[in-house]
Structure 1
Amino acid sequence: MTAHDPGPDWAGGHLRSARHGDVYFSREGGLAESRAVFLEGCGLPGRWAGRAHFTVGELGFGTGLNMLALIDLWRRHRPAGGHLGLFSVEGFPLPVADAARALAAFPELADLAAALLAQWPKGARGFHRIQWPDHGVTLDLAILDAGEALSQWSGRADAWFLDGFAPALNPDMWSPDLMAAIAARSAPGARAATYSVARIVRDGLSAAGFTLNRKPGFGRKRERLEAELPGVAVNQSPPRRIAIIGAGIAGAALARAFRALGAGPRLFAQGPMASGNPAALVSPRLAAGSSAGAQLHAQAFRRAVDLVRQTAADAVLGTGALRILAGRGEPERGRATLDSGLFDPGSLQWLDAGATSARLGEVVTDEALWVADALVLRPQRLRAAWSGSAGLGGQPEARRIARIARAGPGGWQLFAEGGALLAEADCLVIAAGPGSAALTGLPLRPVRGQVTLAHEEPGGAPASWGGYAIPAPGGVLFGATHGRDDPDPAVRAEDNDRNLDKLARMRPALAVRLRGLPLDAVAGVRAASPDHQPLAGRIEDGLFILSGLGGRGFTLAPLLAEHVAACAMGAPSPLGASSAALVDPARLKRRVAPESGLGQIDVG
């Protein structure tokens, strides 16, 4: 993939790729072609009958027409409670206006197309998740070169749509290495379909282990190709009983993610939550360290913004925030973030000190990034929206979990104080903040943070710099302290003074206005891992974790919850392999086994 694409060409009223000199779909009828070549060619809908999960991959997303035709078929022949996972690759995404113009030719797909266009990626490189929740469909669209996308995707496809531009015009999309990668990312018995019977396609698929079958082609094409791998598809049943311990932002995000996959988890919570502040900021981390880390944090930010806007818009207090580049190395990290290609064009803007001062309404000496998509949230509303009906009576179950223990292969039991059995689960996810350490044996450490609330108009834009100052209901919220290995959630008056002192270094005029005013405060205890990366994934059979989010829970939890839910339910993860490895709890050594008897903990 190169930095510049010539873009679409509408010469003669047909959508063509100027780069490859080929049409996006047949002039004899794009929707009819999708149905005949790809849906029929992969034996759909018959092959998903009775399946709890079915996965379809595609090379060449283009306008999205193949996927829309597939979703239309799925909604008419969906197995009861079934979930359809889609994966597609596109190196040069169309502008949304051109996609809309092309899809307007198929009015019977108008409602599905509208949902796709509303979530259309704006150009950021990486993985993008698009959902049709009413139909149980999730699409992971990789804006990447095909080889990189396939190496990063964790799924196994039951069917493949091979729809790149013609092999003579785009041979890289049909290389033997790519066909081998397709086979490696396929389930037993997978089918592949394509409009092309070119020699490079036949040889590549055959060498990868597919059995080939020529069929009559569509439109002007004399033949098309169907291919099949040996083996028999296995219909794995997802866990029926799912329990989540912790109802902060991690637990709420998990509840939403499991429901999106058709599951109904039980959510247990008791005790103070680190995500109990009156306001929260969703903003990206500056690029630092590994490329996998940069990709993870950028994708998490994009996904958090999309999900909040789609599912909990009334939780948004404001949009847009400054990231002030104060401190050694911060401007360089800001530039690296801006130049990474991991954010949508125009979503980040470089500001010199004068422009930063204008946004804040006071004089500062630092440069900044303007993050147009940053969100200021009401945490309580977001947690309520995502917790949904996961607990009894629509609320998390306020039960104290004293101990968990294995119950047979893959099963788990949750016990209350005094030894009473509260629940049994086929899948248990620990999202209990610092309390996750006792339940899992993983080396998480408590980090206490206190934020201060002044009942005064904040003035200027929301801003962060390591600390932050953001609008909150009734005033301005600023802080926070960072007390490592401090598990005490009690509010401390001296920490308000510390927060004011830190604020004075970054926003002196605001700090002057706030000194002497009555101040409220909220303190919470977060969990951090030894390497400061989150923990998200499988610990052992039936036991998973989402923790170690530090002070970035509202940015990280939405995406990582989807990753954990996918791992638990046997669905494709939204994370690339390198990002999944970065957060895999297996990287840390466990200190105790959860069966070994645990002290009482508060979770939430």
Structure 2
Amino acid sequence: MKSAAVPPAEVDFSDPGAPVAPAFGDVYHSRAGALAQARHVFVAGNGLPARWRGRERFVVLETGFGLGNNFLATWDAWRQDPARCERLVFVSVEKHPLRREDLVRAHAHSALPELARQLVDHWPPLTAGLHTLNFESGCVELLLGLGDARELLRELVLQADALYLDGFAPQRNPELWDEWLLKSLSRHAVPGTTAATWSINRPMRRALASLGFEVELAAGFASKPEMTVARFAPRHLPQRPAGREPLAPAARRAVIVGAGLAGAACALALARQGLACTVVDELPGAAPASSGNPAGLFHGTLNPDDGPHARFNRAAALATQALLAELGLPHQQGLLRLETRRPLDAMQGVPGYVQALSAQAASALAGTTLAHPAWFYPGGGALAPAAYTRAMLNASGAALLLGQHVAALEEAVDGWRLLDAQGHLVAEAPLVVLAGGHAQLPLLGELAADLVVQRGQLTHLPAAPWCPALPVAGEGYAIADGQGGLWCGATTQDGDLDPSLREADQADNLARYARLAGLAAAPRAPLAGRVAWRLIAPDRLPLIGGLATPGEAAEQLRLQPRRPGLVVCTGLASRGITWAALAGRLVAALALGSPRPLEAELLDAVDPLRFALRRRRKPGR
């Protein structure tokens, strides 16, 4: 059984100059100094800063994040270099990450106090999977993989420019140095990728050489006379999966169709990668459709097997939490999800992400009586999706082209042309992102058949007899409006396009509200609320990725050739607030070829071609 939680490191700080990992019987760094060792062995050992100069993006891949000194030293070198690359992406894996309080202790006397403080401030909950931490307005990115390196390295989708090999000593931590793991690392190398480590372990050097690296010994640090440096120069280039190639690697402009949550998040993520963005929508304002609802929830999920849905939702919820903090957007902080089906001790919470509370403890947080125990998501909450959309659009600096209907796409030599119903040009760019709702279905071609348009009606209760201080979800939800009332809902009707408020749907919403509140009967209220539509995939996950090249069908998603310059980001269902930030980041990575913020298995789980592949594998079903 998988677990959402990652076992933290136990660190012995009795010798502040050389913290020890008792489980491995080894020190985290040389007594001669952590930063000095990092600068000599890893930064200089990989030819930095010279090798990143003139580059748009430089990617470092590290085994063993430890105390984070290698990251801090590399970040500092980037900061100090006036000719630095535009963006530094530092990817690191760690099986036993530090608790936040231990990270504070490790850097209490750091020679880089400002950078160390930022690292501590951004430190994530210790949950399995990839965490994206942004610094320097997104120009420095730490992609931190928490879990077993032997599993995570297989799941990373990236091409590294430099490798930092920094596990504990090979005799004490052999799993980070054997040929199997080094082969996994080499899959992320390209010709010219360098590697460096303080170790001169002979089996490690032989393995690197057998994998296509030119291996040398160099002057070591402090008491170590030698260290290992290497450069990837294989005789034969490994074939890259067609479905993992970037869709528009040279694009400097993008057009996003859809001015809701998905479109705004895509514009922000692409703008942070240096692209000039234009957002097009046929309606006259931003957040026009379901993104215009007055309030909505965001939170992760938890299940006993930590399957793809739970992992994707967790990654998305943490990405939303981080982006809201960056934007400084006010919102209701914290969320309670009532648990009525199974005992809470059947699953373990994760500190900082989700906590199991008794009915009494949950009631204390809610400021009102709750009849059931609950999961408390401290980073979850509620906000107005329209405010979130506007904040992302403002931060992106995107140009808005509103009131413009896009009826067709036309492939051009240098990208795509967007045409209106009369065939007139609306916009053109090397990269187009389709990030709209159900009105955009005609542009999706065959993908439209894989999506269901679902009507939802939510209800406003102006004077609520039960009004929790925190958003509460379960069978339905309740979100205080700040004026003594609340929003509750929401109904679900597939294929229903009726835009009018309906008494029967309001009665359903109020009945769910009464069950949440433990009321004997549903309250009466005048008909008030809002109707909107969601796009939902059969497996309740979004569609994010490229479209198939016409006439080419592969047996694996990662082998499927894609149409260049075109990305889909849709099907955000009722989780648009939760999913948007991660979806936008993923769109930018898929388009430009930067390290993907999700593991390969989760990329497949949200790939828009997954349903077509399943149909090919099971004809007639």
Distance in 2 of aligned mates of 1:31 and 1:360? 46
Q: Does 1:350 align with 2:356?
A: yes
Give 2:467's match in structure 1, choosing from 436, 443, 459. Answer: 459
Any idea what SS the aligned residue of 1:275 has? Answer: helix
**Superposition pairs of residues 25-424 of structure 1, within 5 angstroms:** 25-77=29-81, 82-107=86-111, 109-134=112-137, 136-230=139-233, 238-271=250-283, 272-287=288-303, 291-314=307-330, 316=331, 318-326=332-340, 330-331=341-342, 338-339=347-348, 344-345=350-351, 347-356=353-362, 365-388=371-394, 390=396, 395=400, 397-408=402-413, 411-424=415-428
Give the residue type in structure 1 aligned to 2:33.
Answer: G
> Shift in Å at residue 525 of structure 1?
0.9
Q: Does 1:503 align with 2:517?
A: no
Q: 1:391 to 1:372 in 2, by over 3 A?
A: closer
> Shift in Å at residue 110 of structure 1?
2.3
Distance in 1 of aligned mates of 2:7 and 2:159? 32
Give the residue type in structure 1 aligned to 2:250.
Answer: P
Distance in 1 of aligned mates of 2:434 and 2:7? 45
Gaps of 5+ in 1: 591-604
**Superposition pairs of residues 482-521 of structure 1, within 5 angstroms:** 482-509=492-519, 512=522, 514-516=523-525, 518-521=526-529
> Shift in Å at residue 472 of structure 1?
2.3
> Shift in Å at residue 105 of structure 1?
3.4
Distance in 1 of aligned mates of 2:444 and 2:7? 48
Give the residue type in structure 1 aligned to 2:495.
Answer: D
> Shift in Å at residue 89 of structure 1?
0.8
Q: 1:73 to 1:353 in 2, by over 3 A?
A: closer
CA contact (8 A) 1:312 1:385 kept: no
| Counterpart in the other structure of 1:599 | none
Determine what percentage of the aligned residue pairs are the same residue.
35
CA contact (8 A) 1:376 1:471 kept: no
Write out per-residue CA displacement over residues 285-321 of structure 1, whole angstroms, 9 at most, x where no aligned residue.
Answer: 342887222211121122212221222332x1x2222
> Shift in Å at residue 348 of structure 1?
2.6
Distance in 1 of aligned mates of 2:443 and 2:521? 42
> Shift in Å at residue 50 of structure 1?
2.1
Distance in 1 of aligned mates of 2:265 and 2:345? 31
> Shift in Å at residue 80 of structure 1?
7.5
TM-score when normalising by structure 1:
0.89
Give the residue type in structure 1 aligned to 2:176.
Answer: M
> Shift in Å at residue 197 of structure 1?
0.3
> Shift in Å at residue 99 of structure 1?
2.3
CA-atom RMSD, angstroms?
2.7
Write out per-residue CA displacement over residues 450-508 of structure 1, whole angstroms, 9 at most, x where no aligned residue.
Answer: 11112225522421114111112542000001111123444334322221122223324
Distance in 2 of aligned mates of 1:171 and 1:304? 37
Q: 1:547 to 1:294 in 2, by over 3 A?
A: same
| Counterpart in the other structure of 1:547 | 570
Count residues with an aligned counterpart.
575
Any idea what SS the aligned residue of 1:418 has? Answer: coil
Write out per-residue CA displacement over residues 177-229 of structure 1, whole angstroms, 9 at most, x where no aligned residue.
Answer: 01111101112221000001012321221222211010010100010110111
Any idea what SS the aligned residue of 1:25 has? Answer: coil
Distance in 2 of aligned mates of 1:510 and 1:462? 21
Once the two structures are overlaid, the 10-residue window that deviates more, 522-531 or 262-271, is 262-271
Distance in 2 of aligned mates of 1:35 and 1:362? 55
Write out per-residue CA displacement over residues 520-540 of structure 1, whole angstroms, 9 at most, x where no aligned residue.
Answer: 211111111133221011122
Give the residue type in structure 2 aligned to 1:421.
Answer: L
CA contact (8 A) 2:433 2:568 kept: yes
Distance in 1 of aligned mates of 2:279 and 2:128? 35
Q: 1:277 to 1:319 in 2, by over 3 A?
A: same
Distance in 2 of aligned mates of 1:155 and 1:417? 40
Give the residue type in structure 1 aligned to 2:115.
Answer: L
CA contact (8 A) 1:156 1:187 kept: yes
Distance in 2 of aligned mates of 1:448 and 1:499? 14
Q: Does 1:13 align with 2:36?
A: no
Any idea what SS the aligned residue of 1:40 has? Answer: helix
> Shift in Å at residue 588 of structure 1?
2.8
Give the residue type in structure 1 aligned to 2:229.
Answer: E
Write out per-residue CA displacement over residues 124-167 of structure 1, whole angstroms, 9 at most, x where no aligned residue.
Answer: 22211111133611111011111111011101111001111111
| Counterpart in the other structure of 1:537 | 545
Once the two structures are overlaid, the 10-residue window that deviates more, 115-124 or 79-88, is 79-88
CA contact (8 A) 2:194 2:230 kept: yes
Once the two structures are overlaid, the 10-residue window that deviates more, 356-365 or 379-388, is 356-365
Once the two structures are overlaid, the 10-residue window that deviates more, 463-472 or 242-251, is 463-472
Q: 1:133 to 1:510 in 2, by over 3 A?
A: farther
> Shift in Å at residue 581 of structure 1?
0.6
Distance in 2 of aligned mates of 1:220 and 1:100? 28
Write out per-residue CA displacement over residues 241-267 of structure 1, whole angstroms, 9 at most, x where no aligned residue.
Answer: 211111111111112211222222111
Q: Does 1:469 align with 2:484?
A: no
Give the residue type in structure 2 aligned to 1:280.
Answer: G
CA contact (8 A) 1:238 1:570 kept: no
Q: 1:41 to 1:456 in 2, by over 3 A?
A: same
Q: 1:360 to 1:585 in 2, by over 3 A?
A: same
| Counterpart in the other structure of 2:559 | none
Q: Does 1:523 align with 2:531?
A: yes
| Counterpart in the other structure of 1:556 | 579
> Shift in Å at residue 362 of structure 1?
6.0
> Shift in Å at residue 389 of structure 1?
5.6
CA contact (8 A) 2:6 2:126 kept: no
CA contact (8 A) 1:243 1:266 kept: yes
